Amino acid sequence: FLSHVAEFCCGFFVILILGNFWFLAVLYLLWLYLDWETPCAGGRRSQWVRSWTVWKYFREYFPIHLIKTSELNPNHNYLLGFHPHGVLVAGAFGNFCTDPPFKNLFPGLTPYLHIMPIWFGCPFFREYIMSAGMVSASKESVSYVLNNEGGGHASVIVIGGAEESLNAHPGSLTLNILKRKGFIKMALKHGAHLVPVFSFGENELFKQVANPKGSWLRNVQEKLQKIMGFALPLFHARGVFQYSFGLIPYRQPIHTVVGSPIPVKQNLNPTTEEIDQLHALYLQKLKKLFEEHKSNYGIPEHKSLIFE
């Protein structure tokens, strides 16, 4: 959905340049230059955009549910690790970029969904995603959010990133997380409490062309991901009036379960050992969260998370 909006925005910008409104394009480029750092400084959210009626229908389509398992004290700042990435990251968008799901369950907390910086280079589209509460996934951006002295800020980071989307097959429980420790270091530096979040059903929205590790397709996808910064999963689902083929996601329920916070004491210069210890604890809590709730959402008892 977001990629289609991005294409429309870029196309509109090209029309301005080629048409009789080139001066508007020049003015916008000037604005872009002056406003370039905003995605790294908390963005520019709009309650009006986040409350559009279309988001209610978007959440009801799947449907998307947000499940609270513990209180999150708004006097603290939090770093929420979202898993898995899936193809669409629908649970993250539906729960953290639209109101009122998160707002009702966690009053006093403001969520910021961190996404790849490349999206903020797209004309007009950047204004739209910032209005929904999305900000850059850069270190500077995460630091800005977690530096709020009064607490009440929640950074939401899709830990597996674009690389994990290549594992987004129905039934897949593989998470790219063993080498991803930057979010742990950020939590320590800012004393932000860590919260594991698992979104059941995220990988069921699309079918992806078989791309096992070592296959020619996977090798090409991984090389392109390293070059461009984002992955290109070959996926399909249903059409508008038929269920056999198309790019519209399947109507599969998504249950995004927010776990209990892991208290983190601020440490401006954490050692490698301290980072590894907190990372191991996070993995333990994430696995526990999954095991406690998997039976509620159709996961067979013998299946468990795979960390790689």
Say if residue 18's pLDDT is above 90.
no
17, 32, 34, 146 alpha-carbon torsion, rounded to 10°? 180
Instruction: Say yes or no: 146 and 237 in one domain.
Output: yes
Let me know whether 257 and 292 are in one domain.
Answer: yes
pLDDT band at 26 (very low <50, low <70, confident <90, very high): confident
Same domain, 26 and 106: no
Q: How far apart are CA 112 and CA 157, in angstroms?
A: 9
Tell me, yes or no, if the pTM score tops 0.75. yes
pLDDT for residue 68: 98
Counting the structural domains of the chain, the total is 2
Residues 153 and 271 in one domain: yes
pLDDT digits (tens, 9 = 90+) for 283-307: 999 999 999 999 999 999 999 999 9
Provide the 10 A C-beta neighbour count for residue 176.
20
From residue 21, alpha-carbon distances to 16, 35, 124, 286 in Å are 5, 21, 15, 52
Tell me which of 16-20, 184-188, 200-204 is least confident: 16-20
Mean pLDDT confidence for 144-151: 96
Which of 227-248 are b and which e, b meaning 16 or more Cβ less than 10 Å from the residue's Cβ? eeeebebebebbeeeeeeeeee
Q: Are 205 and 88 in contact (CB under 8 A)?
A: yes
Same structural domain, 111 and 230? yes
User: Of 3-12, 28-37, 119-128, 258-267, where does mean pLDDT reach its minimum?
Assistant: 3-12
Residue 10 has pLDDT above 70, yes or no: no
Per-residue model confidence (pLDDT) at position 58 = 95
Together in a domain, 8 and 134:
no
For residues 165 and 2, which has the higher predicted lDDT (pLDDT)? 165
- 134's enclosing H/E stretch is strand 134-136
Q: Residue 116 above 60 pLDDT?
A: yes
- Residue range(s) defining the domain that contains residue 277: 39-307
Q: Residue 290: give its domain's CATH number.
A: 3.40.1130
Kindly tell me if the per-residue pLDDT of 15 is higher than 90.
Answer: no
- Token pair 């990988």 is found at 203
Q: Which helix (H) or strand (E) holds 308?
A: none
